[in-house]
Amino acid sequence: MPDERPLRAVPDLRGPQHRITGDHWWDQDRIAHLADRPRHCPSCGVALDIDHGISVEYWEGDNRVYHTWCKECGWTGDIIRIRRMVGHEPEDH
Amino acid sequence: MLSKEQNEQLTRVGPGTSMGTLLRHYWYPVAFSKDLEGFPVKKVRLLGEDFALYKMANGEYGIIQEACPHRRASLVYGVVEEDGIRCGYHGWCFDTEGNCVDQPAEPDKSTFKNKIQAFAGSAQEMGGMIWAYIGEQPAPELPRFDVFVMDGIRDVGHATLPCNWLQIMENSVDPHHVEFLHGRYFEFLGNKKGFEAPKAFQKKHVKVGFDSFEYGILKRRVLEGQSEANDDWAVGHPLVFPYCMRVGGGGIDQMQIRVPIDDTTTWALFYSTHNSDQAGDYPDQGLTDYEYQWRDADGNHIVDYIEGQDVMAWVSQGPITDRSSEHIGKSDIGIVMLRRMFKEALAAVEAGEDPIGVVREPHDRIDLPCEKDKFGAGAEFPLAWINMGSMRYSPIKDQLERFHEDVAKAAASA
């Protein structure tokens, strides 16, 4: 069975005092997604903050992919957050 | 999904912002040439700043900050001089580079004017429009893209839309929307309201591809029933970085232009040049411009034509869409690529380099790759585009239809 636990421990942010905008039912989900994005370049290790690169999350089937570009070293690639190891190449997600 | 900070960086265009600095490396259309034929001064707004655009007696143009450096009155209400503009309030005069060259009320021997500098950009005419550059000098060349300088009948529909320009640009690298927004949704509307939606837009995408090239991103698609040998893949069409998209087909060459007026306002133009080797001798009539309608009397979107559907998708996302709450997928990789390209361009500017698409070499014309046989629809395509697109609002719509009918007849008998 896939591991359904959160990928990263997310504090309980229910309640209006913790909401980012206060008007989206998925705020909790958004916080979790933001918490999961890569924080450092996998090549040179620089912080992937607004001044040093970008990571854009998109979905590919069950996987969440972070397309990542590092301004410092130019590394570009997809970082995939996975829940389980799969031993074959699926034909289609 | 993007973080809120990244979204802010990519969407704010005002002076002093990262994106504003990047976008100030390019020329933008700010008015039609005819706008200054009746009266030689016009207020324009670009990248969150207000300017006075003016035409001098020698036919050249100037663009200067709207507020006079003296007492901040508007230079839009100024007097156009031989080589500049004079404030209507106290007569301070500025040349085309923003130098203050006269202060009539100051003592004759005063050197005060030498301390005054207004911000002035550069302005030029091309293809029936006036283009402005408001970045650092020296200004790059105004790119003479094919659509603006080729022969043909010029027809430009335009509207000022209440949304950020980037969400319009992201639509340009989103091929899949065509088969749904202009295909399935259009068909649904047609069935409900009693008209036939164009079939060419309903074909399913089998494959999409994106390549970066000298001027932006080349977008390709294979539709059901087609192969990679078809124009839609073999040639494709480009997003012209950072604010245009070149499209065409069946004798219509079009540049879709999205001028960032400010963070939440975009001037969206469909600049079409109708031409064909098969055409007869059509006289040059200059440029015809008109506003296309996108909202009805009740404030609802008008969605029974192609660009109206696009406008709905752009504007309904909100003034600046919240990308921290989006959920994008594999079919959105063109958008992912565009965001990365913007970040690369921002880095180039920070390093003191020209970003992608800035042209420094003098040239006569830049030809952009663009498919001719669009969606495999053949001669029907231009007529469907005219009748089911924003050109239906054109005052010369009948003439455009006749033109393409003549072209089709000439091609059939050739």
pLDDT digits (tens, 9 = 90+) for B255-270: 999 999 999 999 999 9
- According to the model, what pLDDT value does residue B202 have? 86
Of residues A20, A24, A53, nearest to B343 (C-beta): A53
**In the predicted structure, residue B72 carries a pLDDT above the cut 80:** yes
Which of A24, A54, A59 has its CB closest to that of B340?
A54
Q: Please give the helix or strand (H or E) that residue A78 lies within, else none.
A: strand A76-81
* A37/B contact by beta carbon, under 8 A: yes
pLDDT band at B123 (very low <50, low <70, confident <90, very high): very high
Contact call for B340 and A30, based on CB within 8 A? no
Residues of chain A contacting residue B343, judged by C-beta atoms under 8 Å apart = 53-54, 69, 71
In this complex, is the C-beta atom of A19 within 8 Å of any C-beta atom belonging to chain B? no
For position B283, what pLDDT does the model report?
66
Query: How far B260 CA sits from the closest chain A CA (Å)?
Result: 22
What is the per-residue pLDDT for A30? 76
| A53 has a chain B CB within 8 A of its CB | yes
Give residue B112's pLDDT: 97
Q: How large is the average pLDDT for residues B223-249?
A: 93
Q: Alpha-carbon distance B260 to A20, whole Å?
A: 28
Is pLDDT of B121 > 60?
A: yes
* pLDDT-derived band at B280, boundaries 50, 70, 90: low
Instruction: Annotate chain B with three-state secondary structure.
Output: CCCHHHHHHHHCCCCCCHHHHHHCCCCEEEEECCHHHHCCEEEEEECCEEEEEEECCCCCEEEEECECCCCCCEHHHCEEECCEEECCCCCCEECCCCEEEECCCCCCCCCHHHHCECCECEEEEECCEEEEECCCCCCCCCCCEHHHHCCCEEEEEEEEECCCHHHHHHHCCCCCHHHHHHHHHHHHHHHHHCCCCCHHHHCCEEEEEEEEECCEEEEEEEECCCCCCCHHHHCCEEEECCCEEEEEECCEEEEEEEEEEECCEEEEEEEEEECCCCCCCCCCCCEEEEECCCECCCCCECCCCHHHHHHHHHHCCCCCCCHHHCCCEHHHHHHHHHHHHHHHHHHHHHCCCCCCCCCCCCCCCECCCCCCCHHHCCCHHHHHHHHHCHHHHCCCHHHHHHHHHHHHHHHHHC
Does A36 contact chain B (CB < 8 Å)?
no
Q: Which of A28-32, B230-234, B253-257 has the lowest mean pLDDT?
A: A28-32
- Which residues of chain A are within 8 Å of residue B325 when distances are taken between CB atoms? 24, 26, 30
Task: Report how far residue A21's alpha carbon sits from residue A24's, in angstroms, rounded to the nearest whole number.
Answer: 7
In chain A, what percentage of residues exceed pLDDT 70? 66
Q: State the best of A24, A46, A50, A78 to mutate against chain B, taking most chain B CBs within 10 Å.
A: A50
Specify the 3-state DSSP secondary structure of A50. coil
User: How near does any CA of chain B get to the CA of A74, in Å?
Assistant: 9
In this model, does residue B298 exceed pLDDT 90? yes
Question: A30 or A8: whose pLDDT is higher?
Answer: A30
Min mean pLDDT across A69-73, A89-93, B151-155, B196-200 is at: A89-93
Enter the pTM of the model: 0.91
- On the question of pLDDT at A21 being above 60, the answer is no
pLDDT tens per residue, range A45-84: 999 999 999 999 999 888 889 999 999 999 999 999 887 7
Ranges B171-180, B222-231, B361-370: which has the least confidence: B222-231
| Average predicted confidence (pLDDT) for chain B | 94
Q: Are residues B1 and A53, on separate chains, in Cβ contact within 8 Å?
A: no
Interface contacts A/B by beta carbons within 8 Å: 56
Task: Look at residue B206 in the predicted model and tell me its pLDDT.
Answer: 92
Query: Which is more confidently placed, B318 or A13?
Result: B318
Q: Give the pLDDT of residue B41.
A: 98
Look at residue B354 and tell me whether its pLDDT is greater than 80: yes
Question: Measured between CB atoms, does A33 come within 8 Å of chain B?
Answer: yes
Q: Tell me which H or E stretch contains A31.
A: helix A27-36
Average pLDDT over residues B159-171: 98
Q: Residues B71-80: what's their mean pLDDT? A: 98
pLDDT higher than 60, residue B239: yes
Interface of B with A (CB under 8 A): 1-6, 9, 322, 324-325, 327-330, 332-333, 336, 339-340, 343-344, 347
Average pLDDT over residues B147-175: 96
Q: What is the pLDDT of residue A36?
A: 86
Q: Work out the percent of chain B whose per-residue pLDDT is above 90.
A: 84
- Mutation site for B-interface testing, chosen from A56, A62, A75 by largest number of B Cβ within 10 Å: A56
Please determine, for residue A23, whether its predicted confidence score (pLDDT) is greater than 70. no
* Minimum Cα–Cα distance from B325: chain A residue: A30
Nearest to B1 among A33, A50, A53 (CB): A33
pLDDT of residue B376: 63
Query: B91 to chain A, minimum CA–CA distance in Å?
Result: 45
Q: Which residue has the higher pLDDT, B202 or B119?
A: B119
What does the block give as tokens for B201? 């837009």
Q: pLDDT tens digit string along B299-350?
A: 999 999 999 999 999 999 999 999 988 999 999 999 999 999 999 999 999 9
> Is the model's pLDDT at A22 over the cut of 80?
no
B365 Cβ contact list (under 8 Å, min separation 6): B144, B145, B146, B149, B150
Share of residues in chain B with pLDDT > 70 (%): 97
- Write out chain A residues lying below 8 Å of B345, CB-based: none
A69 CB within 8 Å of a chain B CB: yes
Give the minimum alpha-carbon distance from B227 to chain A in angstroms, rounded to a whole number.
20
DSSP secondary structure letter of residue A67: E
Partner residue opposite B343 with nearest CB, options A26, A34, A69: A69
Chain B residues close to A21, C-beta within 8 Å? 322
Chain B residue closest to A31 (CA)?
B324
Q: Looking at the complex, report in whole angstroms how far the Cα of residue B212 sits from the nearest Cα belonging to chain A.
A: 14
pLDDT of residue A2: 46
User: What is the reported pLDDT for B364?
Assistant: 97
The whole-angstrom distance between A50's CA and the closest CA on chain B is: 6
CB contact under 8 A, A69 and B330: no
What band does A3 get if pLDDT is binned at 50, 70 and 90?
very low
Closest CB to B343 among A21, A54, A58:
A54
Sign of the dihedral defined by the CA atoms of residues B231, B370, B308, A23, in that order: positive
Report whether pLDDT(A7) > 70.
no
Check residue B349 and give its pLDDT: 98
Q: Say yes or no for a CB contact (<8 Å) between A71 and B347.
A: yes
B231 has a pLDDT exceeding 90 = no
Please, what's the largest Cα pairwise distance for chain B?
79
